[in-house]
Amino acid sequence: MFTAAGKLYLTIAQLKVKNEAEVDGGLYRGHTVPLYRDLYGRQVLHLRERFPCFDVYDRLNEDRYYHWYAIRHKNGITLVYTQDDQPGAQVHEDYRPGVKTAFYAPSWLCEAMTNAGFFQKEE
């Protein structure tokens, strides 16, 4: 259970209640960006990155991912971060690209959100 952007979520699955299909032209790493609606009807961008692999054994056996969920709401963007092998979620309210915080967000995440038009105000 966690709170993000002023709303309570009982599970991570509540961030991806409705699939909005693929965002036209929204690309990161050559792939279209998956866009969803959450339990409250807000747009959520779900991006994931495979856990690092250090050798051939890892490549064959590693199936964990890092997950970033960007929730777009009236007041801005909230990021939620999870790992497949860790319980819970880390929440970063009021995400703004280029602003240094203790919350780690990879540079490609900002690029993907920009390509998907996520920094434009939702109507």
- List the Cα angle 31/36/38 in 5-degree steps: 150
Residue 58 predicted with pLDDT over 70? yes
How far apart are the C-alpha atoms of 105 and 103, rounded to whole Å?
Answer: 6
Q: Tell me, yes or no, whether 122 lies in a domain.
A: no
Rounded CA separation 103/70 (Å): 13
Residue 99 included in any domain = yes
Q: What is the mean pLDDT of residues 39-65?
A: 84
Domain membership of residue 121 (yes or no) is no
Residue 123 lies in a domain: no
pLDDT at 25 over 60: no
Number of structural domains found in the chain: 1
Determine the Cα angle at 8 with ends 111 and 48, to 5°: 30
Is the torsion defined by CA of 59, 62, 68, 69 positive or negative?
Answer: positive
pTM for this model (two decimals): 0.76
Q: Does the pLDDT of residue 27 top 70, yes or no? A: no
DSSP-derived 3-state class of residue 109: helix
Q: Is residue 120 part of a domain?
A: no
Q: Residue 81: which domain range?
A: 2-115
Lowest-confidence region among 3-7, 9-13, 27-31, 93-97:
27-31
